[in-house]
Amino acid sequence: MQRPELPDHLSVNPTSPHFVAAVFEHDIGIRFNDRERFDVEEYCVSEGWIKVPAGKTLDRKGNPLLLKLKGRVEAFYKSEVN
């Protein structure tokens, strides 16, 4: 199956305008400052930031409260093992 190109800005929240369902059909990874992160909710490669949950804290709508971290961001597809 052909993988879609990874967007510059992507969110895991389906209500976000930056959500792309076709990308999530594949296993993707995020490298932030040369370390792989597994808790990224949203990223932007060109602006150099990721958003991660702030512990178990929730906002007033019941969604995780997100912290914005700035640094070098790289999005990639993880290789699929047959």
2 within a domain of the structure (yes/no): no
53 within a domain of the structure (yes/no): yes
41 within a domain of the structure (yes/no): yes
**Overall average pLDDT of the 51-67 stretch:** 93
Summarised one tens digit per residue, pLDDT across range 21-40 is 999 999 999 999 999 999 99
Domain around 34: 9-77
61 within a domain of the structure (yes/no): yes
Total domain count, the chain: 1
Asked if the model's pLDDT at residue 80 lies above 90, the reply is no
Burial class (CB in 10 A: 0-12, 13-18, 19+), 37: middle
**Overall average pLDDT of the 41-62 stretch:** 95
46 within a domain of the structure (yes/no): yes
- Report the candidate in 9, 6, 7 with the shortest Cα–Cα distance to residue 48: 9
1 within a domain of the structure (yes/no): no
Q: How far apart are CA 41 and CA 39, in angstroms?
A: 6
Summarised one tens digit per residue, pLDDT across range 61-72 is 898 999 999 999
